[in-house]
């Protein structure tokens, strides 16, 4: 079985081929491993530092690497929409959408990154691996 880092590298190689050429870049990519029994995330926005007041906020992209991925999106009226993801599914939403990843009963791997406009002096691509107990 490939390592988590190898899977992350393969997914990002595929994603980079799909990103439009020009001023849109992949930013702050992370491989995330959620372990069984962990808590749900607190509801939050995905707005990297410096993007809080952007005219066009960055987009959040999640790629589920395994069956059983799930998150909850919050509508402006407070309604909660649960989204189930199978292995290979991808969801993209604006960074100013309230959301939270649910607690997992089994280990779950996914890739998380932002699509945003290039900003002067900002690294376009970082590599991280997060393990979430």
Give the tens place of pLDDT for each residue, 68-77.
999 999 988 9
- Residue written as tokens 């992209």? 61
Domain 4-132 has CATH 3.40.50.1100: no
SS3 category, 6: helix
Cβ neighbours, 10 Å, residue 44? 10
Q: How many CB atoms lie within 10 A of CB 110?
A: 24
From the list 64, 50, 57, the residue with the least C-alpha distance to 122 is: 50
Nearest to 58 by CA among 11, 20, 23, 96: 96
Give the separation between CA 117 and CA 27, rounded to whole angstroms: 9
Question: Which has more confidence, 22 or 44?
Answer: 44
Contact 43, 75 (CB under 8 A): no
* DSSP classification of residue 124: S
Q: Average pLDDT for residues 9-17, to the nearest whole number?
A: 67
The mean pLDDT value for 86-108 works out to: 89
Query: What pLDDT does 126 receive?
Result: 41
Tell me what pLDDT residue 37 has. 86
Judge if pTM exceeds 0.85: no
């Amino acid at each position: 079985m490939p390592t988590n880092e190898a899977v992350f590298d393969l997914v990002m190689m595929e994603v980079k081929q799909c990103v439009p050429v020009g001023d849109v870049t992949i930013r702050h990519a992370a491989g995330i491993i959620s372990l069984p029994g962990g808590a749900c995330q607190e509801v939050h926005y995905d707005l990297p530092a410096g993007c809080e007041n952007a005219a066009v906020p960055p987009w959040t992209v999640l790629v589920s690497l395994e069956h059983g991925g799930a998150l909850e999106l919050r509508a402006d009226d407070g309604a909660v929409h649960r989204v189930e993801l199978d292995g290979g599914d991808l969801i993209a939403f604006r960074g100013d959408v309230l959301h939270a990843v649910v607690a997992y009963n089994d280990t779950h791997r996914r890739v998380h990154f932002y699509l945003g406009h290039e900003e002067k002096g900002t690294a376009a691509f970082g590599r991280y691996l997060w393990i979430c107990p």
